[in-house]
Amino acid sequence: MDQSCTPLAILREVFGYSAFRGQQSAVVEHVTAGGDALVLMPTGGGKSLCYQVPAIARQRAGRGVALVISPLIALMHDQVGALHEAGVPAAFLNSTLDWEQTQDVERKLLAGQITLLYAAPERVSTPRFLGLLDTLHAHGQLGLFAIDEAHCVSQWGHDFRPEYRALTVLHERWPEVPRIALTATADDVTRADIIERLQLQQAEKFVSSFDRPNIRYTIVEKKDAKAQLLRFIQRQHPDESGIVYCQSRRRVEELAQALCEAGLDAMPYHAGLPAAERQANQDRFLREEGVIMVATIAFGMGIDKPDVRFVAHVDMPKNIEGYYQETGRAGRDGEPAHAWMAYGLQDVVNQRRMIDESPAEEAFKQIMVRKLDALLALAEATDCRRARLLAYFGEQMVSVDASASEEGGSYRRLYCGNCDNCLQPPEVWDATECARKLLSTVFRVQQMSNIGFGAGHIMDILRGKPTDKVKQFGHEQISTFGLGAEFSEQQLRGVLRQLIAVGALQVDAQAFNTLRLQDAARPILRGEQPVRLRAETAKPERRARAERAPRGRAAPPAAADLDTAGQARFAALKAWRGEVAREHNLPAYVIFHDATLAAIAARAPRTPEDLQGVNGMGSSKMERYGEEVLRICRQTHNTA
């Protein structure tokens, strides 16, 4: 192979990065050589390079264009823009192009002038597009198929897109063209489904660690979600970019407004907004700094903004896959970031109800319930959240600090040092008695009145509150009346939550969310199954930064470490970058990452040689912006 075509040479020349990360190198070698691959890598792991480098290598070797399937029409413009910045000929074909633009792209394709072509899955099965691929193939100019967000092919994934099913045509029609499928989420069921649906049985599987060490996980009990969220942002992430996920459109609107009223720069995003407004909000989020997006899960897939500092869930997602995918959007740049969730009894009730009410088949519901239970267990956990998350994806965590992982005699506790439970181990109380009392109350009212009652009423009985409803149904007579007076409502809610989570109680959505006893309640009622819960300690939420510093990637010179003159250069470079980005209609990070600007500022460069080897400074950017960058640095030398 020509030296300029080796993957490492391309990585350095085009992208300006010195080395591949983790599995990237193995994937790139395999695919460049024509092998099929399934790549599972967490968000921020660097999946794009896994197909972009082989695409360039194969094009340089005369093998033609790489077709990239991506469901993210709204982001194709930026993805292609980023490649242009790196000097790579790329284009997209989707519904945003008019007839003339489409023809122009097709002409360039046939002239061999394009290295990567992005297209939406629904386009692939159109006769016109298939004809185009046929022509390319006939000339030996179809070099690679890359299928991004491959979990969309599976209904077990959290983002099923039926159009993905039709992608099998690629392999059936052009079996010798190598394929690479990539995803950031896939538990065992989803993974098996992707392999089967996309016929990747023969493909090499590359599974990376799913750990995101720079993300700190915190899950708090929901009291007043709005106030808690506000406190979290104001205390821990002032002026930083973040995403707040909510379950419903109404809540998105409500919270976005509340944050704005509190003086934060927040915007709503959900499927009910007009397309133009959605796009405008997304663009602002990507292009500006310190903006908060309050959104439903309609927002975020493919959002590759590297400096999202926090992802907050004010409502509980459906399952761990969704939670991990969404929280994974924080800290792609490897710098410290925060995943924060508030969850409460109502979340459990709502999620259970959605499953019960769905028209899906029983087998499907069963899987959904199991997935929800895993998330509930994570939320209720008193041990390391990271260890649980990784275990869910089939990975065994290694404690970062063995001495700290010793707790309670022979019991070894896994310790990541960067989740709420590791940083501040919660107290645990034995809620077995309380659970038994709650369950027998549910049992007795059911027996006595022959109808079910909701959580509030059950708690009133146990706490001995003679409400109108209690009197109306004569529930003061029940033997457990007042037996739980020593428990706070919060404690009782916690226990109920757990009882629903383990399936001892069921919420009947058809009958005013009444609670019904299930078989799983028996061992608890008989005292055979202990119930242990985190104690609600009313500790103030401490400032995250004051605690043990979160771990980032082996740190490049961070902006915070610069001296005064360096800071001045950094600020000037950022201002310049903002102008360029606006001119090119691209997000700033596509021009240069913060880390690249910080590295430049630290070097105080005077000549082009001084810029050699800065991470993120590829040859195209050097040529385009090198002089400008030097000019700005020199100017700042003189004024500083």
Interface residues toward Zn ion, by CB under 5 A? 384, 386, 416, 419, 422
Q: Which is nearer to ligand ADP, 178 or 300 (CB)?
A: 300
Give the C-alpha separation, 305 to 282, whole Å.
11
Closest distance of CB 385 from Zn ion, Å: 6
Question: In this chain, which of 6, 8, 12, 21 binds ligand ADP, going by CB under 6 A?
Answer: 21
Question: In this chain, which of 46, 81, 268, 587 binds ligand ADP, going by CB under 6 A?
Answer: 46
Q: b/e per residue, 397-418, with b = 16+ CB within 10 A?
A: bebbeeeebeeeeeeebbbbbb
Closest distance of CB 414 from Zn ion, Å: 7
Q: Which is nearer to ligand ADP, 45 or 268 (CB)?
A: 45
Q: Which is nearer to ligand ADP, 45 or 587 (CB)?
A: 45
Handedness of CA 75, 77, 83, 88 (dihedral sign): positive
Instruction: Say which entry of Zn ion, ligand ADP, none residue 20 contacts (CB below 5 to 8 A, set by partner kind).
Output: ligand ADP
Is 54 a binder of ligand ADP (CB under 6 A)? no
Q: Which is nearer to ligand ADP, 307 or 383 (CB)?
A: 307
Question: In this chain, which of 43, 185, 440, 441 binds ligand ADP, going by CB under 6 A?
Answer: 43
Question: In this chain, which of 10, 14, 30, 47 binds ligand ADP, going by CB under 6 A?
Answer: 47
Q: Which stretch binds ligand ADP (CB under 6 A): 37-45, 124-132, 209-217, 503-511?
A: 37-45
Q: Which stretch binds ligand ADP (CB under 6 A): 20-28, 110-118, 167-175, 218-226?
A: 20-28
Give the C-alpha separation, 458 to 435, whole Å.
12
Please list every residue from 284 through 313 that binds ligand ADP, using CB under 6 A: 304, 306
Instruction: Say which entry of ligand ADP, Zn ion, none residue 43 contacts (CB below 5 to 8 A, set by partner kind).
Output: ligand ADP
Q: How far is CA 486 from the centre of its chain?
A: 41
Instruction: Say which entry of Zn ion, ligand ADP, none residue 425 contacts (CB below 5 to 8 A, set by partner kind).
Output: none
Instruction: Say which entry of Zn ion, ligand ADP, none residue 384 contacts (CB below 5 to 8 A, set by partner kind).
Output: Zn ion
Residue 347 CA: distances (Å) to CA of 212, 363, 507, 509, 639: 26, 23, 12, 13, 56
Q: The sheet that has 337-343: what strands, in order across it?
A: 215-221, 337-343, 310-313, 242-245, 292-295, 266-269
Are 121 and 164 in contact by the 8 Å Cβ rule? The answer is yes
Q: Which is nearer to ligand ADP, 46 or 268 (CB)?
A: 46
User: What's the angle, vertex CA 382, arms to CA 377 and CA 383, rounded to 5?
Assistant: 95
Of 143, 181, 176, give the one whose Cα is nearest residue 54.
143
Looking at beta carbons, which residue is closest to ligand ADP?
Answer: 46
Are 189 and 195 in contact by the 8 Å Cβ rule? The answer is no
Closest distance of CB 522 from Zn ion, Å: 34
Q: Which is nearer to Zn ion, 59 or 405 (CB)?
A: 405
Which tokens is 405 given? 């992982």
Is 324 a binder of ligand ADP (CB under 6 A)? no
Instruction: Say which entry of ligand ADP, Zn ion, none residue 93 contacts (CB below 5 to 8 A, set by partner kind).
Output: none
Which tokens is 29 given? 């070698």
Instruction: Say which entry of Zn ion, ligand ADP, none residue 506 contacts (CB below 5 to 8 A, set by partner kind).
Output: none
Instruction: Say which entry of Zn ion, ligand ADP, none residue 386 contacts (CB below 5 to 8 A, set by partner kind).
Output: Zn ion
Are 520 and 529 in contact by the 8 Å Cβ rule? The answer is no
Q: b/e per residue, 301-330, with b = 16+ CB within 10 A?
A: bbbbbbbbbbbbbbbbbbbbbbbbbbbbbb
AA identity, residue 195: I
Q: Which stretch binds ligand ADP (CB under 6 A): 43-51, 63-71, 191-199, 446-454?
A: 43-51
Residue reference for tokens 């709005």? 226
User: What's the angle, vertex CA 417, arms to CA 393 and CA 544, rounded to 5?
Assistant: 110
Name 176's Cβ contacts closer than 8 Å, sequence gap at least 6: none
Of 496, 467, 460, 499, give the one whose Cα is nearest residue 481.
460
Is 557 a binder of ligand ADP (CB under 6 A)? no
Are 149 and 183 in contact by the 8 Å Cβ rule? The answer is yes
Q: Which is nearer to ligand ADP, 20 or 625 (CB)?
A: 20
Quickly list H helices, 502-617: 522-525, 564-584, 588-591, 594-603
Please list every residue from 250 through 279 that binds ligand ADP, using CB under 6 A: none
Q: Which stretch binds ligand ADP (CB under 6 A): 38-46, 318-326, 386-394, 575-583?
A: 38-46
How many beta carbons lie within 10 A of that of residue 486, not counting itself? 8
Instruction: Say which entry of Zn ion, ligand ADP, none residue 388 contacts (CB below 5 to 8 A, set by partner kind).
Output: none
Quickly list H helices, 174-319: 188-197, 225-236, 249-261, 275-287
Residue ranges of E strands in 361-432: 428-430
Question: In this chain, which of 10, 27, 45, 190 binds ligand ADP, going by CB under 6 A?
Answer: 45
Question: In this chain, which of 17, 118, 217, 393 binds ligand ADP, going by CB under 6 A?
Answer: 17
Q: How far is CA 427 from the centre of its chain?
A: 29
Instruction: Say which entry of Zn ion, ligand ADP, none residue 185 contacts (CB below 5 to 8 A, set by partner kind).
Output: none
Is 41 a binder of ligand ADP (CB under 6 A)? yes
Closest distance of CB 119 from ligand ADP, Å: 18
Please list every residue from 524 through 543 that binds ligand ADP, using CB under 6 A: none
Quickly list H helices, 289-344: 320-327
Q: Which stretch binds ligand ADP (CB under 6 A): 15-23, 395-403, 478-486, 564-572?
A: 15-23
Is 49 a binder of ligand ADP (CB under 6 A)? yes
The residue ranges that bind ligand ADP (CB under 6 A) are 17, 20-21, 24, 41, 43-49, 304, 306, 332
